[in-house]
Chains A and B, each alone.
Chain A
């Protein structure tokens, strides 16, 4: 694969360092005392070329994390604390012009409703040209040719540059958006529920394609979804988010084999198996808390199957003390009082 980009991005990653690091990031919607902390002090690192899965229920803050990394949070959302380091530099200090170059060049994004992210009255090719010319000096003709190349990369005929979005199927539109996200060869692509609206066969096609492109281009992926089963197969590492906090992070295979947090275990038990005996499943009873007034102590305790007043000492800690993330095996962290208690 020849490089499609002549001008180097703002900085290049040095080997062996995390590409992106979130440190104690806090994002609030609104102002105290009515502020909802959608992201409450999370630490997260994405290494070069890896796929990090971020999973959790609707409203757990995962999309807010994505928007914070992309620096596209809009009021009333604001970053109330912590830092976001991209290749060691805090992007929260950058000027609007620097941020404009950082976006799409360093980090691009495939949105949840990517199928609707395309402008319905513009040809596909023109939308590529717009995105490229916003970031570098390139003439229209060459930009269009490059758009064709990018479409071929995601398995779409290059002549489709002159199609309108409505002439493509949902899966094709999704691939167009992925091609667009690749157009400036970013180091990180954020994918926010990229396949949720698609059916399984198309979903697998797209994931296989992203996997192959990742090997060619070497970009990292922050993959956000509520479907853990997808991540177990597709991600290198997985972080589970609940009510604005990371409750567990592990390598995908370890998470499948040795999930420790009751919430992770609940998520893993939420999808019925395709093979083996069919046993009644329970899912996770209850619903996620209101982030304007989160439960005290462990935020999962009202839904936790291992939290009962009978075990007095433990119950007291579960309801009053916030569990810290601790490492239980290499590259595996859990925030749960049960794990601490069993040590």
Chain B
């Protein structure tokens, strides 16, 4: 295994302008986010709507350009590549799977067309082998018999099957990195597991580095190795997934955990729900962005922005109370 991570981000920042020229403000959608994706590893990126998790995936997919920070692909800075050839080369290594399998496939084209296109555009195999490869890919994602499936149109497939087509299309270019943005949240509960199992298998067999963006902690626990929890544009906690979920440090992670319906516990403790949502990311003042919803907030939280502190080996959190900065 190479020592260079296929994809690494350092201090990634993305701001979106709001308002007009007179009253300008910025949403700090992604603020100083750093992590790396390692081969054969699934990294979960978890947070609520508006936390910036999808923006991270889109920045990595080169759909947005970062305001600041760098994206390193195998050690090379690719955050500002513009030339079509370079962008194509990057996209041939970093592929994305979207949330909506109904919107991401062209309704008037067959499955064959969708899987074939990346093979031709990126010239993955000689044109006389394209058909063979399409069938192989469909078989890999569990769409059998591939000859029949390839001739179908998206409307003839179920949601789960469509998502498998999207995965086959992403795999066509033999990527090193796959960014999966909520790949199962629009699917039926009964077929979600199938897609998660497929991701786990591909990670093993192809040594792919996955970024799994989700708000579902239980599914993250099922497939992921590491977890990053985002709140209002910032990483508030990260570490090996079992460590984080069994011993969550940040109050926001605890809130997320408490919100998950858990059939094992009929009487779950009612969580205190306080308002103050994604607006925390609009022109944030100093201090912790979670403080207004936080049951543990103390004075320092409204004046000093907490840093990510490694409170336990490999397990860091951004909280004055549960992960205080070591005295210097």
Contact = CB atoms under 8 A, between A and B. Distances in A.
B193 A227 contact: no
A232 B262 CA distance: 8
A248 to B, nearest CB: 15
Contacts, number: 116
A232 B259 contact: no
Given A281-B193, A287-B158, A233 B188 contact: no
B199 to A, nearest CB: 13
Interface stretch (B60-68, B202-210, B212-220, B283-291): B212-220
A229 B192 contact: no
Interface residues of B, number: 41
Interface string B175-216: 000000000000011111110110000000000000000011
Given A201-B256, A284-B190, A271 B271 contact: no
B108 interface: no
A199 interface: yes
Given A273-B218, A274-B221, A280-B197, A233 B48 contact: no
Given A272-B221, A272-B222, A204 B264 contact: no
Contacts of A272: 193, 196, 218-219, 221-222
Interface bin, chain A: 35 or more
Given A205-B273, A232-B266, A274 B217 contact: yes
A281 B222 contact: yes
A78 to B, nearest CB: 24
Given A199-B49, A202-B48, A283 B190 contact: yes
B239 interface: no
Given A278-B222, A283-B193, A230 B261 contact: yes
Contact of A287 (B49, B160, B260, B268): B160
Interface of B: 48-50, 158-161, 188-194, 196-197, 215-219, 221-222, 245, 255-264, 266, 268, 270-271, 273, 277-278
Interface of A: 57-58, 169-170, 198-205, 208, 226-230, 232-234, 252-253, 256, 266-268, 270-276, 278, 280-285, 287
